[in-house]
Amino acid sequence: MTLVLENVSKLYGDTVALDRTSFTLNCGIYGLLGPNGAGKTTLMRIMADLLVPSTGRVLLDGQDISALGGEFRKRLGYLPQDFGVYPNFTAEQFLLYIGRLKGLSKFEAKRQTDELLYLMGLEEKHKKKLESFSGGERQRMGIAQALLGSPDILILDEPTAGLDPEERIRFRGILSDLSRQRLVLLSTHIVSDLEAVASEVILLKKGVVLDIKTPTELLEQLNGKVWSVTVPDFEETEWTRTYPCSNVMCQRGNSILRLISDRKPHPSAISVPPNMEDMYLKYLGK
């Protein structure tokens, strides 16, 4: 299975949300990383055939997804960033309803509903109305509805928003299992989630794809460019204005700064291994 973007652009009046974007995705987990306003949601909506590009096209195994229509949507699971639920539905009723909308038989919708409620740790709340669910529980319901129908393609916009650390770890495990025979596109601001599960990361800034590489390759590009520097705390502001700074730790009148610089920023600076937050700041920071 191959999903290809060919020269995809999207304009809103004079504003360019996406600029001539092209790449190819196969089975595996792809992380979509970029600051607010980078065009991530626009890109994902185009890939889900919910938004028509101004130029270019999206192809699934060589066929335009807009021409495939319902056949494509049967193979797609989508979680939008602003996921809404019917508050008076119970968890079970909601998933059964979505399952029938996706064309599942009554029996299969029930089977998958029970399975997904268990997978999301919500089996004991299957008769509870969604209006009583916490933000994290509603988000897990959103993930569950995206998985109904066993789709080949999963497009998930901020799926870990509202999940606590334990829930995020559980979700990452679920994604890893699902990605063996599926294509998963995952957008998140939590870079540690991408480092843990993504086979490749797509860096998007101002509507332009800067790079597509594995997390390891992105981090290797920063070797020798991340430094730990200890300065008096009254100098902290000057240093953080001069260099990108991914962390500050105060200690007995000093500030221990984690700085990004191609050259050693201070004679006492110590080179440290880069992490994904350093990478984000280097390529996607202001």
- Predicted TM-score (pTM) of this structure: 0.89
Q: pLDDT of 205-232, one tens digit each?
A: 999 999 999 999 999 999 999 999 999 9
Q: Mean pLDDT, the chain, as a whole number? A: 92
pLDDT at 32: 96
What pLDDT digit, counting tens, does each position of 95-125 carry? Answer: 999 999 888 999 999 999 999 999 998 999 9
What is the tens place of the pLDDT at every residue in 49-73?
A: 999 999 999 999 999 999 998 899 8
Res 149: pLDDT: 92
Give the pLDDT of residue 112: 96
Percentage of the chain beyond pLDDT 90 is 75
Query: Following DSSP, what letter does each residue of 188-252 receive, concatenated?
Result: -S-HHHHHHH-SEEEEEETTEEEEEE-HHHHHHTTTT-EEEEEEEGGGHHHHHHHS-EEEEEEET
At residue 165, the pLDDT reads: 86
Q: Please report the pLDDT score of residue 67 as a whole number.
A: 94
| Residue 209 CB neighbours (<10 A) | 21
Rounded distance, CA 136 to CA 168, Å?
10
pLDDT of residue 192: 82
pLDDT score of 252: 85
pLDDT-above-70 percentage for the chain: 100
**Strand 28-33 to strand 183-187: parallel, antiparallel, or no bridges (unpaired)?**
parallel
- Residue 87's pLDDT band, with cuts at 50, 70 and 90, is confident
**242 vs 163 pLDDT, higher one:** 242
At residue 194 the predicted structure's pLDDT band, cuts being 50, 70 and 90, is confident
Q: What is the pLDDT of residues 161-192, one digit of tens each?
A: 778 888 888 888 888 887 778 999 999 888 88
The region that residue 218 occupies, defined by phi over 0 for left and psi between -120 and 50 for alpha, beta otherwise, is alpha
Q: Is the per-residue pLDDT at 254 higher than 90?
A: yes
Of 134-138, 155-159, 217-221, the poorest mean pLDDT is in 134-138
E strands within 13-152? 15-25, 28-33, 55-60, 63-64, 76-79
pLDDT of residue 118: 93
List of residues 6+ apart from 125 with CB closer than 8 A:
91, 117, 133, 137
- In this model, does residue 42 exceed pLDDT 80? yes
Signed CA dihedral, 210, 211, 215, 217: sign only? negative
Question: Quick one: pLDDT at residue 262?
Answer: 94
pLDDT over threshold 90, residue 144: yes
